[in-house]
Amino acid sequence: EAQVTQNPRYLITVTGKKLTVTCSQNMNHEYMSWYRQDPGLGLRQIYYSMNVEVTDKGDVPEGYKVSRKEKRNFPLILESPSPNQTSLYFCASSFLAGSGETQYFGPGTRLLVL
Amino acid sequence: AQSVTQPDIHITVSEGASLELRCNYSYGATPYLFWYVQSPGQGLQLLLKYFSGDTLVQGIKGFEAEFKRSQSSFNLRKPSVHWSDAAEYFCAVVTSYSGAGSYQLTFGKGTKLSVIP
């Protein structure tokens, strides 16, 4: 089954404790992206990647890191989480044939930073 | 700067009534436009998209949307709403894209739809 998976789905942590949220897709997509969703703000893009070893900042990259060492995986790293990073996070992927390609979203990771 | 506006934060309709969700975009070139739906506790699912051709686009679950360049709008419609349509709906536009394929997707803040039985 074609899908985007994220782990963990729920995470409670404390300020300053490094964490990684994994994202994996099995559709051989070139393009992958991370969003955060906050009430009243919709989805905002954090980082995106056009292919292996190619990443770029989205609209809200501060406090986050990403890596793309393999085509299928695009982990999101919070080196020193803060309470303002409490949010719902979505990973998405698509083909890069054109910017009109459909993005497929993972189920989301709900993060609470105390 | 490119932006997407969904003027209605929350809409309530009766089951069987028609629905129109508004979306306005600000973008200089021909936009690539999307509507996504998010059911409670779920990820986002694509309803439909427009990037060229016929300005009336058909999507899944009986939804359609019409691109109107003169009004910078891409409103989502459904002739008869079902209780299962209760969800949050997001309009999105591709921004910052280049010939190399790099692009960003900018979302509106969403419209929450409630359906009264």
Bond from prior residue into A39 cis (ω within 30 degrees of 0): no
Taking only the tens place, the pLDDT of each residue in A43-67 is: 999 999 988 998 989 889 999 999 9
* Contact (CB<8Å) A43/B101: no
Report which DSSP code applies to B99. T
Chain A residue at shortest CA distance from B9: A40
Taking only the tens place, the pLDDT of each residue in B55-79 is: 999 999 999 999 999 999 999 999 9
Q: Residue B104 has which token pair?
A: 């960003």
As a whole number, mean pLDDT of residues B14-22 equals 97
* Closest to B85 measured CA to CA, from B8, B17, B34, B24: B17
Rg (CA), chain B: 14
Note the pLDDT of residue B73: 94
Taking only the tens place, the pLDDT of each residue in B19-45 is: 999 999 987 677 889 999 999 888 899
Candidates A37, A43, A60, A101, partner chain B, best to mutate (most B CBs within 10 A): A43
Note the pLDDT of residue B51: 81
A34 contacts chain B (CB < 8 A):
no
Candidates B103, B108, B110; nearest CB to A99: B103
Chain A residue at shortest CA distance from B94: A99
